[in-house]
Amino acid sequence: MKKLKIGADELILSMRKNEVGQNFSNEHLGRKIHDLITLKLGEEMKEKNVQAHWANETGDKNIAKDNLPKTAAQYEIDTDKLKMLFDEILTW
């Protein structure tokens, strides 16, 4: 079993790229992601409020409550569960 570190920011980016979850703020999506990963998939959060790896300067048009988050929780998840994770978030 291999584990992959993945952040809620990366999952939100995937959702935004696929025009999913457009009616939800990053905060709301972050809570849904947390519940999915911890409750449904049985994995755990490793860190909170980790700086995102994209441009996040003050005033950056891509950083907004309904676009990309500035910080996000990081999770460690079994790679066998990634399909289930993405299948779920891409329906929101």
In this predicted structure, which of 6-15, 21-30, 47-56, 73-82 has the lowest mean pLDDT?
47-56
DSSP 51-91: EPSS---TT-TTBSTTSB-SEEEEEEEEGGGHHHHHHHHTT
Domain count, the chain: 1
Q: What is the pLDDT of residues 2-34, one digit of tens each?
A: 999 999 999 999 999 999 999 999 999 999 999
The pTM score is: 0.87
**Structural domain of 51:** 3-89
Cβ-based neighbours of 12, under 8 Å, separated by 6 or more:
21, 26, 29, 30, 33, 68, 69, 72
